[in-house]
Amino acid sequence: MHIPDGFIDLPTSAIFAAASAGAITYSLVGARKQLDEKSAPLAGLTAVFIFAVQMLNFPVAAGTSGHLLGGALAAVLVGPYAATLALTVVLVMQGFLFADGGLSAIGLNVFNMAVLGVWGGYAVFLLVRKILPKNKSSISIAAAIAGLISVPIAAIGFVFQYSLGATATFSVSAVLGAMVGTHILIGIGEAIITALTVSAVMASRSDLVFGWENKTSTLEIRN
């Protein structure tokens, strides 16, 4: 769900645009360090992947279907820096080319989905990975919990913006309840799809998964 123009007032939008700009600058530096000059094509293709996979419909029941949001998935697959950049580009392009999400609200949307969703999800992923034993299935479980948490975290970001600068009359606690409630449900779907997708990639190209630091298999020299 993208926030349209006029829903949140301009000062709040400006604050979050500045916060997003800071997070993007940090991710630009991090992505350059992590991927060198490879960062542009790889983050670009990640953006395309996220854009495409959001159009893949997962049927739920009785004709309804949902789709992946992809913040946590991108963070686990390519790392949080490239994921933030890829999701930001997707949101900016959706705003400017598809009129999806208000142009004055881009900072708000980027903050919720590309910053909170990605970094919140990645923090949860790191935490869960630390607790679980170091094997491949732990990565999928950690990705699932990251996916589950990343969606309500983004929703909480929205509620925070709402409490600061909304022109609406719903009480903040009511919005918090409704948003977090529905987004936990969406998060369960996100968790299942994220875990299944990560385990599919782990099965064939585990070396591509950023969150899988495969330190155990070093080069073996046999005589």
Partner 1 sequence: MRFPVVYSYCFVVRTLKIKVETRHHHGHDVGERLYIHRHSVVHSLPAHPKIIAALLFIFTVVATPITWWFNFLGYFVLIVTVAITAKIPLKTLFTRALIEIPFVFFAILMPFFGKGEVVSVGPFDLYQEGLIAAAGILIKGTLGVLTAITLSTSTTAREMLRGLEKLKLPTLMVQIASFMLRYVNVVNDEMERMKVARESRGFTATGIQHWKVLATAAGALFIRSYERGERVHLAMLSRGYTGVLPHEEPPKLSKSIWFTALALPISAITILAISLGINK
Contact between 185 and partner 1 by CB under 8 A: the answer reads no
In the chain, which ranges are E strands? Answer: 58-61, 64-66
Contact between 172 and partner 1 by CB under 8 A: the answer reads no
Contact between 205 and partner 1 by CB under 8 A: the answer reads yes
Residue closest to 107 by CA, chosen among 95, 120, 121: 95
Contact between 170 and partner 1 by CB under 8 A: the answer reads yes
Minimal distance, residue 2 CB to partner 1, in Å: 8
- Quote the CA–CA distance of 188 and 24 in Å, as a whole number: 28
Contact between 140 and partner 1 by CB under 8 A: the answer reads no
Contact between 186 and partner 1 by CB under 8 A: the answer reads no
- Member of 17, 75, 83, 89 binding partner 1 (CB under 8 A): 89
Minimal distance, residue 158 CB to partner 1, in Å: 11
| Start-to-end C-alpha separation, the chain | 59
Question: How far is Cα of residue 10 from the mean position of the Cα atoms in its chain?
Answer: 25
Q: Is the CB of 13 or the CB of 117 nearer to partner 1? A: 13
Are 134 and 163 within 8 A, CB to CB? no
- Member of 20, 109, 161, 197 binding partner 1 (CB under 8 A): 197
Contact between 30 and partner 1 by CB under 8 A: the answer reads no
Minimal distance, residue 105 CB to partner 1, in Å: 8
Q: Say which residue the tokens 């940090």 belong to.
A: 26
The pattern of x and - marking residues 103 through 122 that bind partner 1 according to CB under 8 A reads xx------------------
Contact between 15 and partner 1 by CB under 8 A: the answer reads no
